[in-house]
Amino acid sequence: MTEYEKMINLLDAGWCMRSQIVPCLVGPPGIGKTAAVMEHAKAHGCGKVVKIVASRCVPSETVGMTMPDHRHRSMEIYNSMQLSSLNDGDILFLDELLEADQYVLSTLLTVIESREMADGTPLPDIQIIAATNDTIPPEQLKPNIRQRFMFMRFKVDMRQTHDYIMRVTGMDLPNDVMDTLTDDGKDYNFITPRTLTKLCMWVNEIPADKMNEIASIINDMFKSTIGHKICHARMIRDNKLYTPEKQVRNAVDEMRVNGLIDPDDVSDVSFDDCTMSELLEILHKLPEWDKISEILSNIEIMEPDENVYDVSF
């Protein structure tokens, strides 16, 4: 089970005790804490996720404030607009929890404990979830904070990061690139999952003739050869992308997306794992074979790029 799946499991398990338990995801930036909250919310059919970045707000933003009402010559209590927007089944997400000002933390703890807004109005039937970077050692955390959250630590997951980058960019990064992942560094730049993903997307978008230039810039940033290694992974991806077999598979995928191939007819088929002959045999048995064969016969096969980019390092 990946670290990301463990996060979602924790949030799912806490759903039935949402009025009592506040899970807090603890881990370095870029491991998918916010994404896990959003996926959990979608799975439970939540109307919305109201996110409060605790490190960037003041107490009045988290609960509300008392202001003078000149017309009635009295002090009126105004609830936080964010809390007032919540409905039953929604999620209140407190991000960057331990980086918040102490006054903000105290206000949030009051909301969590009382489940009320500033004017005493009860909160709807919501789930409160928190997330934080590992910024404060546990022994320095005040007991009143530690008692109100169920903290669970999550670490950098190399396989999860590799698979996500592969899914987004098609680049199969080697192990020595994945081994550079860390959650801290001696310089300003260090390679977290988020950083590595952005570097790969950057390399993915640049023209081929600019790869060496960008690789050198990345190398200088991180004082390593990671830029050239990412470009090398793109080169391998590019040379595989237009093989005749890949183009046939891409055409089949497009027919599935467009609905020509009925998903129910191939629900137990893994197109990526079977050989080309097995794939054609499967397609030949489908009712839509005549149309499928016509499309496949009209594919203009492109030959792989003969240019080999200079990505030596």
Quick one: 40 and 175 in the same domain?
no
Q: What is the mean pLDDT of residues 275-301?
A: 83
Give 171's pLDDT tier (boundaries 50, 70, 90). Answer: very high
Q: Find the mean pLDDT for residues 57-71.
A: 62
Q: Kindly give, in sequence order, each residue whose CB lies less than 8 Å from that of residue 201, ignoring residues fewer than 6 positions away.
A: 168, 169
Residue-level pLDDT at 116: 84
- Domain assignment present for residue 305? The answer is no
pLDDT at 309: 38
Write the secondary structure of the chain as one string of H (helix), E (strand) and C (coil).
CCHHHHHHHHHHHHHHHCCCCCEEEECCCCCCHHHHHHHHHHHCCCCCEEEEEHHHCCHHHHCEEEEEECCCCEEEEEECHHHHCCCCCCEEEEECHHHCCHHHHHHHHHHHHHCECCCCCECCCCEEEEEECCCCCHHHCCHHHHCCCEEEECCCCHHHHHHHHHHHHCCCCCHHHHCCCCCCCCCCCCCCHHHHHHHHHHHHHCCHHHHHHHHHHHHHHHCCCHHHHHHHHHHHHHHHHCCHHHHHHHHHHHHHHCCCCCHHHHCCCCCCCCCHHHHHHHHHCCCCHHHHHHHHHCCCCCCCCCCCCCCCC
Do 131 and 237 sit in the same domain of this protein? Answer: no
Say if residue 179 is in the same domain as residue 39. no
In a domain, 310, yes or no: no
Percent of the chain predicted with pLDDT > 70? 86
The confidence band for 252, taking pLDDT boundaries of 50, 70 and 90, is confident
**Residues 163 and 229 placed together within one structural domain of the fold:** yes
Please list, in sequence order, all residues whose beta carbon lies within 8 angstroms of the beta carbon of residue 2, skipping any fewer than 6 positions away: 157, 159, 160
Whether 302 shows a pLDDT value over 70: the answer reads: no
Q: In terms of pTM, does the model score above 0.75?
A: no
Over the chain, what is the mean pLDDT? 83
The CATH number assigned to the domain holding 93 equals: 3.40.50.300
Give 136 or 122, the one with higher predicted confidence. Answer: 122
State how many domains the chain has.
3
- pLDDT 10s digits, 7-56: 999 999 999 999 999 999 999 888 889 999 999 999 999 989 999 888 88
- Per-residue confidence band for 268, with pLDDT thresholds at 50, 70 and 90: confident
What confidence score (pLDDT) does residue 218 get? 94
Tell me which of 175, 207, 241 is where a domain ends: 241
pLDDT score at 150? 92
Higher pLDDT, 243 or 12: 12
Classify residue 313: in a domain, yes or no: no
Q: What is the pLDDT of residue 183?
A: 76
pLDDT value at position 121? 84
Tell me, what's the pLDDT at 203?
Answer: 94
Kindly state whether residues 278 and 183 are assigned to the same domain: no
The verdict on residue 303 lying in a domain is: no
Please check whether residues 209 and 230 belong to one and the same domain. yes
Give the pLDDT mean for 88-113: 87
pLDDT digits (tens, 9 = 90+) for 69-100: 556 565 565 667 778 888 999 999 999 988 88
pLDDT at 263 over 50: yes
Counting residues of the chain whose pLDDT is more than 90, the rounded percentage is 33
> Which range of residues forms the domain containing residue 7?
3-153
Span 109-116, average pLDDT: 86
Residues 23 and 62 in one domain: yes
Per-residue pLDDT, 307: 41
Number of residues that make up the chain = 313
User: What confidence tens digit (pLDDT) does each residue in 199-228 have?
Assistant: 999 999 998 888 889 999 999 999 889 999
Do residues 120 and 251 share a domain? Answer: no
